[in-house]
Homo-oligomer: A and B are copies of this chain.
Amino acid sequence: MLGPGKADLLEHIAETGSISGAGRAMGMSYKRAWSLVEEMNAAFREPLVLSVRGGASGGGASLSDTGEAVLAHYRKVVALAASAAKDEIAAIRALLSDIPDEK
């Protein structure tokens, strides 16, 4: 329903105020960005992204209240998961040939 790619797209839409701007920021085609937005809007009870086509400004997009809520929940999922699994992730990292820096 939602993964890192779609969550990033929601964040970029909130930041840039447009679907095309968000796609551009992520190196994603406009078509792909739209298709992901349509998938998300169809998957949830209320659309996550509200968009206005056309007009002088070329249209724009923003997150609905549901979109903001879903994104906030998603961020918490990631934070809670990372924190709970910290030691196990460290154990896997320790077995890597090049131990990556902590981000």
CB nearest neighbor in B for A89: B77
Q: How many residues of A contact B (CB 8 A)?
A: 30
Number of copies: 2
- Whether B92 and A88, one on each chain, are in contact in the complex, defined by CB atoms closer than 8 angstroms, is no
A79-100 CB mask vs B (1 if < 8 Å, else 0) is 0111111001101110111001
- Whether A92 and B46, one on each chain, are in contact in the complex, defined by CB atoms closer than 8 angstroms, is no
- A sample of 8 inter-chain contacts (CB < 8 A) reads A43-B96, A43-B97, A44-B95, A70-B92, A70-B95, A81-B85, A83-B84, A84-B84
Residues of A within 8 A of B (CB): 1-2, 42-46, 66, 69-70, 73-74, 76-78, 80-85, 88-89, 91-93, 95-97, 100
